[in-house]
Structure 1
Amino acid sequence: MRHVAVIGSGPAGFYTAEAALKAFGDQVCVDLIDRLPVPYGLIRFGVAPDHQSIKAVSRRYEQVALSPNVRFVGNVCVGRDVSIPELQSLYDAVVLATGAPVDRPLELPGSDLPGVVGSAAFVGWYNGHPEFTDLNPTLDGPGAVVIGNGNVALDVARILSKTRREFEGADITTHALEALDRSGIVRVTLLGRRGPHQIAMTPKELGELGHLERAQPLVDPADLPDAGADALLEPGMRKSVGHLRDFAATPPAGKPVTIEFDFFAMPVAIEGDGKAERVVVERTRLDSEMRSIPTGETYVVPASLVVSCIGYKTPPIEGVPYEHGRGRFANSDGRILPGLYCVGWARRGPTGTIGTNRPDGYAVVDLIAADIGEGAGRGGPEGLDRLLGQRNADVVTFTDWQRIDAAEAARARSGAPREKFVSIADMIAAVRN
């Protein structure tokens, strides 16, 4: 029997468990260990609440979790309840699937001012992550700046711009919905250091901005390259740039909120009297290799809320080799040390889509199969249970999660699929009661 511990129960963790089941059948036991009492990671806390079709992939993960050879071991924190060396002594393979849940630092003068938040915190706030429930972002407006030109920046801009009615069917938390309903923000500015041909925005997400009830996306036609140059782009990017061209060609519709794309714009400082009030921006240009070059021309964008969407990093774990420059575990195609592996964003950094994690999980299981053979008869789940019992860990099983799930569905507001518990204590109470 092979014993595999997967740390993290997001997409990368579940695809790894799925791959192990297909590779080893009933000759494997997989423990999915998560520091939170709820599974699914990025699906629950990262995917936008108004993108329910994307969240539906959790049904596939549920089938994996219900396998008799897979366990969800929730509310167990590696480093607090159990160490990596202890797990290595109990399992033939330990796979780090911890994702990249920490914001990369903005590192600008004034980035520590109240009103400046990272996207992990802001997205976690409206998605009900227990660590960010009390974020209380500055929404009294009228200006917000979103730094970044990727899909997360689009999510943030869209969430800031929607009406309450447009959140029908979404699992946005009530505390966030009510705060957004009172928002005074009427101008959202998206800052990107480069131009329209260098965005990392997918067509579907970008196209959504053109259908908002009270907000209109604005693009300066002068920022767009010659239309003939679009032919050199990949099809998906060509569609995205097509949306930007449509936005530029659409006359003002008199909507009360604008989403302004400010290309060739690099933030250099955030200023204000004890809080964020404005972003100092330097105009850029592109060199022959499409790198942004500052021009020395600066201007100011008023903003009481600044959301940094410049990427994420994996938090280091004591004793595990780490690449600080890349914000991920040091590895060779998923191998870190003998018996220790990583997968997903913890392996390659925060790139790709949710589906990208599937081949990643299968590839690391191929490595495990080559390395561990038939297994070494380690203690596995029984050894972990014994250790956690000695430490009085309050373990949450998948059956417990199903109770949490049912309780969240039962307390949902009208039209919403659920009302998430936003504290670990409330999650545990839903299980124990």
Structure 2
Amino acid sequence: MAGYQKSLCSSLRRLWPRNYSTTIRQPHIAIVGSGPAGFYTAQQILKLHPTAEVDVYEKLPVPFGLVRFGVAPDHPEVKNVISTFTKTALNERFHFLGNVSVGSDLDVEELKKAYTAVVLDLDGVLSARSFVGWYNGLPNKADLKPNLDTDVAVVLGQGNVAIDVARILLTPVDILRKTDITQYALEALSKSRIKRVCLIGRRGPLQVAFTTAELREMTRLEGCRPVLDKNDFLGLEDLAKMVPQRRRRLTQLLLNTALEKPSQKDAARWQASSKEWMLKFLRSPKEILPDEQSNKVRGINFTINKLVVLRSVGYKSVGLKGIEFDSRKSVIPSNTGQVKNQPGVYCSGWVKRGPVGVIASTMTDAFETGKQIVDDLASGVLTVSPDHTGRHRIVPYLKNKDIETVSFEEWNKINEHEISVGNELNKPREKLTDIAKMLQIAKQ
């Protein structure tokens, strides 16, 4: 790969000789969205192209997308990629422009006039996961105020996010205090009466969508025991041997937890636990039953399913004006990232392939898009115009609309403030959730 990069860089230098003007020999690439796909795409372009400048636009004043707002606070190791993204951001050819909403503050057509190529990374659209945004400090979810004054919580879904929600609800507060969970969420959870979390799935035990690691973590959760109905797993031992290898360990762990006698240590620990979680299968919510006196949920009426039709519910992207969008798949039709019928426009992340995969698969996908852009520059598919001055054209346009952008250096002021407040609370950081406050600190 290193030899390929060296050869490609040499050929690109021949394509843009030294006596060319700066704007011609420096293609400007715009990336919409500062989540993992956006940063990995930027990283690949900067690595493979010797002169390209990359401007990343983000609707919030803070970067990193779902790494900041979607990862559970008690899984800090997943957030380690932020250090990689920060190294990319420190490249002199990288520029972060926060607090700019593409689609309202700025449209794609305006970007196309200013840039050699535009990459759309819209993976940060939150669907039915307001609770995750609440405890992770997503600004528009800070006032969510979930009702925790109950013994039982029901989570509809059996994926990793559902497990995250259950774990946050059941983890002892003293453990959560050491994470970067928001202080208001910590205070609310410290008063929570929830003792039992039921994770409801439309499908059966062989179709659960969480990972082995997530399940194992739940079985070891301090002060909490698993409660699985043996009848849901009887007769599945032989079928478990036929599932794909990557699911075999997960299925076996489920069967062991449900059917085997726990070790003496686990039995003693679970016996002393005051909280519990359970899995319920083949159920779909039919009706939310209200308590007429308290105006709160009294219960849920479920229908019993058969494994005939499968439906996946989760994060999804949304379309932009002027860009073809497949609303059924929630993707922009493309070929290795190049958007259909849109020369110079590319996509990456979940808006490219749909809401599947983890950060590692997002990295591979983003690298593909980044390489495609560099290849198109080298082959002449993408041509650099003197009008392609990137942010130098866009920033004055935004100023005329009284829109303040936030640079990566200004984000660092927000970052330092959050870490400082977190230190006072003996935690990694305390996230700001008020955008006005973010901007105030950024502009100090």
Same fold (TM over 0.5): yes
Question: Max radius of gyration: which structure?
Answer: 2
CA deviation after TM superposition for structure 1 residue 396, in Å: 0.7
Structure having the higher strand fraction is 1
- Residue 222 of structure 1: aligned partner: 231
- The aligned counterpart of 1:283 is 304
- What CA distance in whole angstroms lies between the structure 1 residues aligned with 2:310 and 2:133? 30
Identity %: 37
Structure 2 residue 188 is the aligned partner of structure 1 residue 179:
yes
Alignment of 1:9-408 (within 5 A): 9-25=34-50, 27-103=51-127, 118-119=128-129, 121-224=130-233, 225-248=235-258, 249=260, 250=262, 253-272=271-290, 273=292, 274-286=295-307, 291=309, 310-336=313-339, 337-372=342-377, 373=380, 375-377=384-386, 378-408=388-418
Distance (whole Å) between structure 1 residues aligned to residue 338 and residue 443 of structure 2: 39
Secondary structure of the corresponding residue to residue 98 of structure 1: coil
Q: Which runs of 5+ in 2 are unaligned?
A: 1-25
Deviation (angstroms), 1:311: 0.5
Match of 1:300 in 2: none
Question: Structure 1 residue 254: deviation in Å?
Answer: 4.5
> Does structure 2 conserve the Cα–Cα contact (< 8 Å) formed by 1:100 and 1:349?
no
SS in 2 for 1:178: helix
Give the structure 2 partner of residue 111 of structure 1.
none
Question: d(CA) in 1 for partners of 2:443 and 2:384?
Answer: 36
Partner letter of residue 339 of structure 1? Answer: G
Offset of residue 190 of structure 1: 0.6
Deviations 1:380-407 (A, max 9, x none): 1211222222222211111111111111
- In 1, Cα distance between the equivalents of 2:434 and 2:331? 28
Which letter does structure 2 place at the counterpart of 1:29? E
Q: Is the 8 A contact 1:38 1:74 kept in 2?
A: yes
Give, in whole Å, the separation in 1 of the partners of 2:202 and 2:376: 45
**Deviation string for 1:231-272 (max 9, x for gaps)?**
223344222223322332446524222111001222222221
Per-residue displacement from partner, 1:160-196 (whole Å, max 9, x unpaired)?
Answer: 1111112143110010011111111122111111112
The range that moved more, 141-150 or 210-219, is 210-219
Q: Aligned partners of 1:327 and 1:381: how far apart in 2? A: 29
Partner residue, 1:3? 28
Q: Aligned partner of 1:181: which letter?
A: S
Distance apart, 1:363 and its partner CA:
1.4
Letter in 2 for 1:233: V
Contact 1:100–1:350, Cα closer than 8 Å, also in 2: no
Instruction: Identify if the C-alpha distance between structure 1 residues 285 and 348 changes in structure 2 by more than 3 Å, giving closer, same or farther.
Output: same
Tell whether the 8 Å contact from 2:37 to 2:362 is kept in structure 1 after alignment.
yes
Give the conservation status (yes or no) of the 8 Å contact 2:177–2:186: no
RMSD of the TM alignment (CA)? Answer: 1.9
| Residue ranges of structure 1 left out of the alignment (5+ in a row) | 104-117, 294-308
Aligned letter for 1:231?
K
> Secondary structure in 1 aligned to 2:166?
helix
Q: Which moved more, 1:28-37 or 1:78-87?
A: 78-87
Report the number of matched residues: 399
Tell me whether 229-238 or 81-90 shows the greater mean CA deviation: 229-238
Q: Which runs of 4+ in 1 moved over 4 A?
A: none
Indicate the residue corresponding to 1:306 in structure 2. Answer: none
Q: In structure 1, how many angstroms separate the alpha carbons of the residues matched to 2:77 and 2:286?
A: 38
More helix by share: 2
**In 2, Cα distance between the equivalents of 1:172 and 1:179?**
11
Q: For 1:352, give the aligned amino acid.
A: G
Q: CA deviation at 1:361?
A: 1.3
TM-score, normalised via structure 1 length? 0.88
Tell me what 1:422 maps to.
433
The one-character-per-residue Cα deviations of 1:42-69 (angstroms, maximum 9, x if unpaired) are: 1100010110011011000001000001
